[in-house]
Amino acid sequence: MKNVLLFLVAAMLLISPFKVFGQEAQAPVYKEGECWVFRSVSKNYQGYVSGVLAMPVNGDHRICFLRHNFWELDESAKSRISTDSVWNNILYMRQTRYLNFPLIVGQKRNEEFEARIRGTNRREKRTSESTVLGMEQITSSAGAYQTFKIETNGWCGAKACGKWIYFYSAQTKSVVKYNYQATLGSTATWEVDLIQFLPVP
């Protein structure tokens, strides 16, 4: 009986660190040639229609990590993706309020920033709160992954003006599902689904 108890205690000591480690994700390290295919669908978007801040067109987007940058590839051309692009919400190009590593379950971050008022050239102060809600098994078109569920809420002054829910996978080094829903008089949405992940050994 004593040996059994000692075995159980030892097992708990070994398992606990792995459980803790499983609740945290460090910033991803990308490899040359890794590629992702995302399906992007936006509706009623009233923001930028061109430039690096523009919403991606609806459809499938193949993005690869080449020469230390992210590139979008189609049949005839490739274009380098700016770190200011909204794709930085999906792949980690630089630290942002949406992907702020390390990700730790229960973590909550608040941020103040300026943004353009929709339909004008004026800017206003806004705040956001991002919370890593927990671990969740998510099935995207690319497969099933254990993910960090993250929720970000934005406020324009004292009023809520946007909600983001997204699922980051350390296995794919990306968000595998992403949902943005505007509030405050707007019906804009943006949904992204990982269709394919092509890792490099």
> Any idea where the domains of the chain sit in the sequence?
30-198
- Mark the ranges of the chain whose per-residue pLDDT is less than 50: 1-20
**SS3 sequence, the chain?**
CHHHHHHHHHHHHHHHHHHHHHCEECCCCCCCCCEEEEEEEEECCCCCCCCCCCCCCCEEEEEEEECCEEEEECCCCEEECCCCCHHHHCECCCCCCCCCCCEECCCEEEEEEEEECCCCCCEEEEEEEEEEEEEEEEEECCEEEEEEEEEEEEEECCEEEEEEEEEEECCCCEEEEEEEEECCCCCCEEEEEEEEEECCC
pLDDT on residue 115: 72
- Please give the Cα distance from 79 to 92 (Å, whole number): 17
Asked: is 30-198 a CATH 2.40.360 domain? The reply is yes
Structure confidence at residue 125 (pLDDT): 85
Residue 185: predicted pLDDT: 77
Judged on CB neighbours under 10 Å (0-12, 13-18, 19+), 72 is: middle
Q: What is the predicted pLDDT for the residue at 50?
A: 57
pLDDT at 14: 36
**Phi/psi at 23 (5° precision):** -95, 10
pLDDT for the residue numbered 118: 60
Give pLDDT tens digits for 34-84: 999 999 999 987 665 556 677 899 999 999 999 999 999 988 889 999 999
